[in-house]
Amino acid sequence: MSLSLFDLSGRRALVTGSSQGIGFALAKGLADAGADIVLNGRAAGKLSEAADRLRESGAKVHELVFDVTDHQAVREAVDRFELEVGSIDILVNNAGMQHRTPLEDFPADAFERLLQTNIASVFHVGQAVARHMIGRGAGKIVNICSVQTALARPGIAPYTATKGAVANLTKGMATDWAQHGLQCNGLAPGYFETPLNQALVDDPEFSAWLAKRTPAGRWGKVEELVGTCIFLASDASSFVNGTTVFVDGGITASL
* Domain limits, the chain: 3-248
| Angle between helices 121-136 and 71-84 in degrees, nearest 10 | 30
The CATH class that applies to domain 3-248 reads alpha beta
Residue type (1 letter), 86? G
- pLDDT above 60: residue 1: no
**pLDDT value, residue 198:** 87
Helices (H), 152-192: 157-177
**pLDDT value, residue 255:** 87
pLDDT digits (tens, 9 = 90+) for 92-132: 999 999 999 999 999 999 999 999 999 999 999 999 999 99
Which residues, listed in sequence order, are joined to residue 93 by a DSSP beta bridge? Answer: 143
Task: Give every CB contact of residue 242 below 8 A, 6+ residues apart in sequence.
Answer: 170, 171, 173, 174, 175, 178, 184, 185
Let me know if 159 is a catalytic residue.
yes
Please answer whether residues 213 and 175 qualify as being in contact, where contact means their C-beta atoms are separated by less than 8 angstroms.
no
Q: Which of 111, 123, 159, 192 is catalytic?
A: 159
Please answer whether residues 149 and 163 qualify as being in contact, where contact means their C-beta atoms are separated by less than 8 angstroms.
yes
- pLDDT above 80: residue 67: yes
- For 224, other C-beta atoms within 10 Å of its C-beta total 15
pLDDT digits (tens, 9 = 90+) for 208-217: 999 999 999 9
Please answer whether residues 41 and 21 qualify as being in contact, where contact means their C-beta atoms are separated by less than 8 angstroms.
no
Q: Please give the full DSSP string across 31-80, using - where no structure is assigned.
A: HHTT-EEEEEES-HHHHHHHHHHHHHTT--EEEEE--TT-HHHHHHHHHH
Pairing of strands 12-15, 90-93: parallel
